[in-house]
């Protein structure tokens, strides 16, 4: 569903849209660019969330991880 909205664009943005729209309407091109920008912003948020999650390891967690890895390697060597 399309909703009619009114936004003000900078002149350089409008020129860019006009220069890259091809046979499509300016609205279609703006919607395409906005979808790409939204997706890029979502990926940035996910990257930041992943960095925060994986960056929180403490020294004790690292020791536990290394101990688990050593035990796993010993198990592989036995088999």
pTM score, whole prediction = 0.65
In a domain, 5, yes or no: no
Q: So what's the pLDDT on residue 8?
A: 95
> In angstroms, rounded to a whole number, what is the distance separating the alpha carbons of residues 44 and 35?
14
Task: Kindly tell me the burial class for residue 21, based on how many C-beta atoms sit within 10 Å of its own C-beta (0-12, 13-18, 19 or more).
Answer: middle
pLDDT, tens digit only, all 79 positions of the chain: 889 999 999 999 999 999 999 999 999 999 999 999 999 999 999 999 998 888 877 777 788 888 899 899 988 888 7
Pick from 27, 32, 33, 29: nearest CA to 4: 27
The answer as to whether 59 is a domain residue is yes
Q: Determine the pLDDT at residue 38.
A: 98
| pLDDT on residue 33 | 97
Per the structure, how many domains does the chain have?
1
Q: Give residue 39's domain range.
A: 11-78
Q: Is residue 4 part of a domain?
A: no
């Amino acid at each position: 569903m399309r909703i009619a909205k009114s936004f003000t664009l900078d002149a350089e943005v409008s020129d860019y849209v006009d220069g890259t729209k091809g046979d499509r309407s300016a609205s279609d091109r703006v919607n395409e660019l906005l979808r790409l920008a939204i997706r890029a912003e979502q990926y940035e948020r996910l990257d930041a969330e992943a960095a925060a999650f994986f960056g929180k390891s403490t020294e004790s967690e690292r020791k536990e991880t290394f101990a688990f890895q050593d035990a796993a390697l010993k198990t592989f060597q036995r088999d």
